[in-house]
Amino acid sequence: ASPCPRMENEVLGYVRVERDQSQGYRGLKTIKSFWPGEVVLREKPLMTAPSSAFADRLVAYSNLESKKKGLVLQSTFTQFEVDDRGIDVTDEALAQALEVAKQRGAEVSPADARCVLQRCMAGSLVDKLHLYEQASLLRHSCAADVEFVYSGGMGAITARHNIAPQKFIGQWLLEDFNLWWKGANVRSAALQKAGLLNQECMCERCQGEDTCRAIKCPGCFDFQKRLKAARLLMLMSSSAVLMASFVGWCRVTIGGFTARMQGEVRRNGKLKRWRCNVCDFNASDVAVEGYIKIENKL
C-alpha cells in the first residue's frame, strides 16, 4: 500500500496519491469532479534550483531545512519507482557535481546526493526546476486530462476537460508532440523508450478505439468487384431492390447507385479486437497481424 500523502505544502488540492494497478505505478487520483479550467491541485515546491545542473540541485537541497530534506528523500519518489524507470547517476557525474557543490559551500553526502538527483530527474518531466511532494508524481496520459503550469511560486495542475471523480489524471509528457496524432502502438513504444512506461499504455485513450490508426478492411476486399457488378447491372435493370441484394452492403438511391467506401478497421485497446466501420469484420491482433505488415509495405 502506498503511504498517505503529506499535505503541509498544499494550498488547494482534490487529489490523493494512489497506486494505479493497470499502469503499475503511483499516480494522482481525483476525489471530486472538475470542469475545464478548474484547478485540481496547487502546491508549493519542496525544492527550487536555478537550473537543472546537478551541482545547482545539490546546492538547492543543501540550503533546505532538515524537515524539507527529509520530505525530498522520503515523500516524493520511492527508490523502487526511481529504479523502475531506470534513472541513475554515473559515479563520474556524481563526483563532479559534489565537487562543484562543495566549492559553493554545500555539504551533501554521496548517498543523499545520488538520491536527490534521481528524484529531481524523475520529477523533471513535470517541472525541470522544482520538485513537489505530489505534483511531481503526475504521470503521462495520452488523453492529456490536465496541464501543469508553474506561476507565482506555485505549481498548478488545471483540468483541460471534464474529469470525473476517482480518476487517475495525467498530462502529455512526451517531448515529441507529433506523436499525439500517431496510433496507440507508436505512442506506447515511444513511452517505453522514454522510460515513462514498462508496458503497453493503459490510459483511457489507448484503451478505447484507436482513431489515429486504421487499415483497409480485409473483409471488404471484394468492394471493387461488387461495385463493377452493380454498375453493369444498372445497365440491364432498373430494379433498385435487385441491385441492393446483389451488391449487399452498398447503398442504392432512386436516381442511381451510390456505394459505400471501403471500410476501415480500427483497434479497440481494451477489447484487443479490430472492427470494421462498414461490414461485420471483427478479428484479433493475431488475425490482423499479416494485414498490418502488408499495409505498412504499401
What is the residue-wise DSSP string for 250-283? -EEETTEEEPPPPPEEEEETTTTEEEESSS--EE
- pLDDT of 174 higher than 60: yes
pLDDT at 230: 60
Rounded distance between C-alpha atoms, residue 244 and residue 251, angstroms = 7
Report in angstroms the alpha-carbon separations of 130 from 20, 135, 171, 182, 218.
24, 10, 17, 31, 51
- pLDDT of 255 higher than 70: no
The mean per-residue pLDDT over the stretch 246-252 comes to: 44
pLDDT at 2: 40
pLDDT at 251: 45
Across 3-22, b (16+ Cβ under 10 Å) vs e yields: eebeeebbeebbbbbbebee
| Residue whose cell numbers read 494505479 | 20
The mean per-residue pLDDT over the stretch 183-201 comes to: 88
Note the residue count of the chain. 298
pLDDT at 246: 45
Mean pLDDT, the chain, rounded, equals 84
pLDDT at 93: 97
Rounded distance between C-alpha atoms, residue 77 and residue 242, angstroms = 68
- pLDDT of 247 higher than 60: no
Report in angstroms the alpha-carbon separations of 168 from 17, 25, 39, 195, 203.
9, 11, 15, 19, 9
pLDDT at 258: 46
Rounded distance between C-alpha atoms, residue 270 and residue 277, angstroms = 17
Please say whether the beta carbons of 259 and 233 come within 8 A: no
pLDDT at 285: 87
- pLDDT of 213 higher than 70: yes
Q: Tell me the pLDDT band of 235, cut-offs 50, 70 and 90.
A: low
Q: Tell me the pLDDT band of 196, cut-offs 50, 70 and 90.
A: confident
Share above pLDDT 70 across residues of the chain, in percent, rounded to a whole number: 81
Question: Which residues make beta-bridge pairs with 12?
Answer: 42
